[in-house]
Amino acid sequence: MKILVSGATGFIGLPLLHKLVEKGHEILALTRTPHKDFKSITFLKADLSHPMTYSEIVSAFKPEVVIHLAWEGIPNFSFENSKNNLNNSVLSPGAPPPELSA
């Protein structure tokens, strides 16, 4: 299965990648810090707040499943902080192009 994982090298994302690789899935990992230990995963270094910089790569990958784990810093579960986190990590326009590595 083709799976897109955001926050792929975080606290939850990294162990998840190990399991997904173990199960034989094809993975596109969106992250700020690509991980060199996985030969079978394509890492896309990108800032989620700038979707226009990576949308063509994601579209070409054609994921069947998206697992969104990205979060800015340690979560604060107040509505206002959650809203700001979403706006800062997903909804802002423009940025430099992402870097792909396999």
Torsion over CA: 17, 20, 21, 27 (sign): negative
What SS3 state is found at 85?
helix
Compute the distance between CA of residue 10 and CA of residue 73 in angstroms, rounded to an integer: 10
35-57 pLDDT, tens per residue?
A: 777 888 999 998 887 888 899 99
Is residue 89 predicted with pLDDT exceeding 90?
A: no
CA-closest candidate to residue 35, choices 18, 52, 50, 47: 18
Q: What's the confidence (pLDDT) of residue 101? A: 52
Distance CA 16, CA 11 (A): 9
Q: What is 2-101's CATH number, 3.40.50.720, 3.40.50.620, 3.40.630.30, 3.30.70.2740?
A: 3.40.50.720
pTM listed for this prediction: 0.73
pLDDT in tens, 1-47: 999 999 898 888 999 999 999 999 999 999 888 877 788 899 999 88
